Structure 1
Amino acid sequence: MNGIIQRFAVALSSTALLVAAPTTLFANDGQPHRSLLVSLPAGGCTLTILSDGSGRINYGAAPHTVKVAARTFDFDRIAESLSSDSLPWPGSAVDTVPPSVVLPGSNEPRLVEDASVVRNLLEQGWRARLPPLAISYDHENRQHAWVKRVCAFE
């Protein structure tokens, strides 16, 4: 099952963030990966960070994805920091959709009060994005352009 990517299906309704259970992800060595997701706003521009420090950026349930190089992120440090700096998701509807995190081993979103933390992680991922592959350059280049626009990257 090499290369299978763990994904959470994230959809935003007018009153709540809905998160489906994760699928299993395996690294090239066959060992399961851990992952975490940060979104700004919740269900919007999403960065999935894998335990090898790589990642993927996408927007909501759209099929456009940008890959992020391995060792870009310190997975354990980020997971520990967001675990202590996030709050349980509010039980009632909120006026604005705040940034969120889904921590390793969970499928429950948590509220991130400081949006700049999530934005900085997204920007770091964008700067470390992998270039489109030559065999599918046009398609992947369009995906990069789309993610850049909807996530408001420079």
Structure 2
Amino acid sequence: MRLPLLGILLLTAAFLLTVPAAWPSEKAPHTETEGLDLMLPHGGCRLTILPDGSGSIHYGAAPWHVRVTAHTFDFGPLLQHFQANVMFAKSLPERREEAASAVFPGSSEVKFVSNAPRVRALLQQGWASRLPPSSPAAFFEDESAHERVRRACNLG
């Protein structure tokens, strides 16, 4: 049975309109977050700060993480500070490893931000206020996970 050309075109258009929605966006490697994600360097050590002042420290896409106690960070002022310090391509340092990046709440777009020393200080603050490792059964939060994050992020 032969479909008329118009039918084939309509089927093709319907297919093309539905499939790209399933493909990940190249602009947005992160999922939308309710918190503020700060990375130093970009793609490296990541601090997620949540509205209650708690957070977590990760390295890249590795699954290990360290949880940070609530009220460690002042979310509102930090969010305002980094939103006001978004950098544009022309103002990025020559060495990208010296640039910090952020993903703001409700977004998945990564932006470069100035003030990498502040991001480093916040990582240290989070490390100082970390929660103890979970039980050995919680593989991604156990003592070895803390040690991996510490070494990768050059903390403590």
**Pair in the same fold by TM > 0.5:** yes
- Offset of 1:21 from its aligned partner? 4.6
Alignment of 1:1-154 (within 5 A): 19-22=28-31, 34-88=34-88, 90=89, 95-97=94-96, 98-134=99-135, 136=137, 140-154=142-156
Of structures 1 and 2, the larger Rg is shown by: 2
Query: 3-state DSSP class of the match of 1:126?
Result: helix
List runs of 5+ in structure 2 lacking aligned partners.
Answer: 1-25
Question: Larger % of helix: which?
Answer: 2
Instruction: Spell out, residue by residue over 1:13-72, the C-alpha distance to the aligned partner (whole angstroms, 9 max, x if none).
Output: xxxx96425257xxxxxxxxx211000001100001111111010000001110011111
Letter of the structure 1 residue corresponding to residue 46 of structure 2:
T
Q: Supply the AA of the counterpart residue of 1:83.
A: Q
Structure with the higher fraction of residues in strand conformation: 1
Structure 1 residue 96: deviation in Å? Answer: 2.4
Between the aligned partners of 1:65 and 1:38, the Cα distance in structure 2 is 14
CA contact (8 A) 2:32 2:105 kept: no
| AA of the residue aligned to 1:128 | S
TM-score by length of 1: 0.73
Q: Deviations over 1:85-131 (max 9, x none)?
A: 2224x28x975221111112222222222210110111111111000
Structure 2: distance between partners of 1:40 and 1:146: 16
Q: Contact 2:55 / 2:70 at 8 angstroms: preserved in 1?
A: yes
Identity %: 40
Letter in 2 for 1:35: G
Aligned-pair Cα RMSD in Å: 2.4
- Mark the runs of 5 or more structure 1 residues left unpaired by the alignment: 1-16, 25-33
Q: How many residues align?
A: 127
